[in-house]
Structure formats: structure tokens, C-alpha cells
Structure 1
Amino acid sequence: MEKSIETIWKEGFLEANALVAPKLNNLYTQKSIHIVEKFKRMFQTNLRAIVIGGVVILGASFVVGIPVMGIMVFLIAGAVVLVNRILQKRLMEIEPNVSSYEYVKSFDHWLKEQIDINARMARFYYPFFFLSMVLGFWFSDYLPLVTRHLPSIYFVNGIPVFWLLGVLIIMGILYAVGGRLYKWDLQIVYGRVLKKLDEILSDMDKLRE
């Protein structure tokens, strides 16, 4: 009786001398390398986009008269890129000349570390992005226009107390949900690649049982 595909895959994965094993190993090696290389390209593109976006916002902020916001956004973007450049170097150190399973597991371990670090960073840079917009507006030429039309704003020593309280509350909310916002953004950008990675790891784990 002919073997089922599932049986052949299991034997090929578990028995090193099986005829089909080299083909399976080659298949998984190609698939795993393809997924990792695709992620590397997307990761590099994303970092470049952050740099370009930071520079564009910096330049535009001076043009429209809110340079404080532009400078803060540029510094925040620079910090994010710097940390991820360090993580990128660790990614490049993953040795591709090992078994496909070890290669994917090493990448998966790096990916989880990268997500954890960025999720923790997001709890700070999302609030500071918001703060940069507030301060950019506060130290711009547009503020007198608003205060002129809103004379009821309550100031204490030149500080709008209720506005400040509102800003702090929003920053607190962004701090609380920053990690979730990052993971949501991650799924938008890398969702399909991460799903394929999970599928490959799941298949390999099942075949190794």
C-alpha cells in the first residue's frame, strides 16, 4: 500500500537515510531562507522609511512654523532607528549554514526579542510623539490665534492648567496601550510574513514529533 504524504514527510524528516529526506530538507531550507530574507528586506525598507519620514517632517516643520515638533519627531525617529540597527546586526549574525529548523528557530528567537524591545519602546515614543505635536503648537506662532478665540482658557503662571491635565491624561493612555499599538502596526506591515513563519515552524515541529 502506498504511503500517505504525511507518512512520507514524517519519515523524510526523522530518518536521515530516507530517500525523500534530502528533498524535504532542501525544501524547508529554501522556504525558511526565503521567509527570513523577505523579512530582512522589509525590515531594512521600514528603517529607511522612518529615517526619510523623520527628515521630511523636520524640514516641513520649519516651513510651516512648528520646528519644535519637527526636532522632537526627528530625535524620536532617530532613537527608534538606532535601536533597531543594533537589532539588525544581531539578525545578520544568524548562521544560515545550519539545518533549516535551527535557522528558523534562531530567527524566531531574534524576532520575539525584537518585538519585545520595540513594544516596550512604543510605550514611550507614542506619548512623546503626541507631546511633540502639543509642544510644537505651543511654541509656534499659531498659539496666539487660538488663545484669542478661546479667552476662557484657565492659566496659572502662563500655564493652561486644564490643557496640561488633558495632555498628561492622553500621554498616560498612550503609555498604557503603546505596546498594543506597536503590535497592531507590526501585523499591518509584517503580518503575512509572520504567518508564514508560524506555519513553517508548526510543520517542522509536527514532523519532528
Structure 2
Amino acid sequence: MEKSIETMWKEGFLNKDALVAPKVNNLYNKKSLHISAKFKRMFLNNILGIIICSSLLFIGSYFAGALIAGSIVLIMMLYVAYTAYNELKSLEKIDKGQSSYLFLKSYKNWIDQSIERYGKMYRFLYPLLILTVYLGIWFSGSFENIRERVSENSDLFFGLHLGTTLLVLSIAILMSVFSKAIHRKDVQIIYGGILNKLESSLEEMEQLRN
């Protein structure tokens, strides 16, 4: 029966002269490169999804009579896509010539730092998006009849329904306060599978190194 990868690694790690060590290193190198390549594909697909969705929303805002709001949202989301693309380019700078363990360790550090940076950015982006969409819908041409009916039954504050506006403002503030937690949850939903593989691979390597 062939030896398990774990057994091969321990033998190769404990005995510098063991011929099996290069084979195990090669296996882990391939696994590390597979994880990084899959993450990169998912990241690129996410950027493309942001561009497509924001473009469709912009087109929809034109027909809904909310072109200004749609334009603002499009600019914000294109900025997110642009920063994400630059983040991905910085990921290419990680040295692929180092050991698979150090390579994945660097990869994880990059992901953690990226999540932290985006969490700070979304502290402002989330509330801006919510308020822009709300104002865009409220003042859109397709919402005109509803605005008129609301104004007949209640006083408007600068053309806005006070209760609804306060509710939206509260949601925007909460989104700002919990932006990091919300972003981490989003990352887990989108990249959870590949991140779990990265974590398990690192844990496996750390156990075998000890």
C-alpha cells in the first residue's frame, strides 16, 4: 500500500536525505498553485460581475427616470472594480518561488489585509449607495404618482417622506458601523469554499512541520 502524503512528508521533513521529500514538495506546490489560480479566477469573475450589474442598473435607471442616481452608483461601483483590479495586480507580486507553505501564508496575509482595507472603504460606500438608491427611486419619474399620493396624506420634508427617510438613514448608519462585519460575511459567502481550502492546507502543513 502506498504511503499517505502525511507520512511521506514527515519522512522527508525529518530526514533531509529522504528521496521522497521533493515529491511531496511538488504535490504541495501544485496544490498551492491550484488554490491561488482558482481564487484569482473567482476574483476576476467578481470584478466582471460588479461591472455588468452596475452597467445594467445604470441602463435601468435611465428608463426609470433616475439617471443621476444611476450614474452615481455606476461611478462608485466602477471605482470598486478598479481598486479590486489593482488589488489583484498586487497579488501577482507574491513570490511563487518560495516554499508552498510560505506562498500560502503570504496569500492569506494578502487576503486578510485586503478584507481590512475594503472594510474601511465600505464604511463610506455602503451608506452612500443606500442613500443614492433611495433618493434616486424616490425622485424618479416612475415614482411620481406615489410621491403625489404620499404628499396628500403627510407633509414632506424637502420633498421627502420624513419617516421613510429616517428609516433609510438609520439603515445607512448601521451599514457604516458594521461595514467590516458585513464585508467579511460577503467574502465568506463568495469565497468561503476556496478560503476554507487555503486554511485547511495551511493547518495541514503547520501540523506536519511540527
Fold agreement, TM-score > 0.5: yes
Q: Which residue of 2 aligns with 1:57?
A: 57
With structure 2 as the length reference, what TM-score do the two structures score? 0.89
> 1:68 & 1:58 partners in 2: Cα distance?
9
Separation in 1, partners of 2:34, 2:90: 18
Residue equivalent to 2:91: 91
SS in 1 for 2:172: helix
Shift of 1:24: 1.0
Partner of residue 17, structure 1: 17
Tell me which residue corresponds to 1:73. Answer: 73
Secondary structure at 2:17 match in 1: coil
Residues 16 and 70 of structure 1: CA distance in aligned 2, closer, same or farther (over 3 Å) = farther
- CA apart distance, 1:115: 1.2
- Work out the percentage of aligned pairs sharing the same amino acid: 37
- Contact 2:32/2:103 (CA < 8 Å) preserved in 1? yes
Identify which range, 173-182 or 41-50, moves more after superposition: 173-182
The superposition leaves residues 93-135 of structure 1 with CA deviations (integer Å, 9 ceiling, x where unpaired) of 1121221111111111111111111222222222222112111
Contact map agreement 2:55 2:74 (CA 8 A) in 1 = yes
- Which 5+ residue runs of structure 2 have no aligned equivalent? none
Report the Cα distance in structure 2 between the residues aligned to 1:31 and 1:131, rounded to whole angstroms: 44
Higher mean Cα deviation, 28-37 or 56-65? 56-65
Change (3 A) 1:51 1:10: same
Task: Look up the match of 1:27.
Answer: 27
* Preserved contact between residue 50 and residue 77 of structure 1 (Cα < 8 Å): yes
Partners of 1:35 and 1:197 within 8 A in 2: yes
Aligned partners of 1:183, 1:158: CA distance in 2, in Å?
A: 36
> Aligned pair 1:203/2:175, yes or no?
no
The alignment of Structure 1 onto Structure 2 pairs a total of residues equal to 207
| Aligned: 1:178 with 2:186 | no
TM-score (norm 1): 0.89
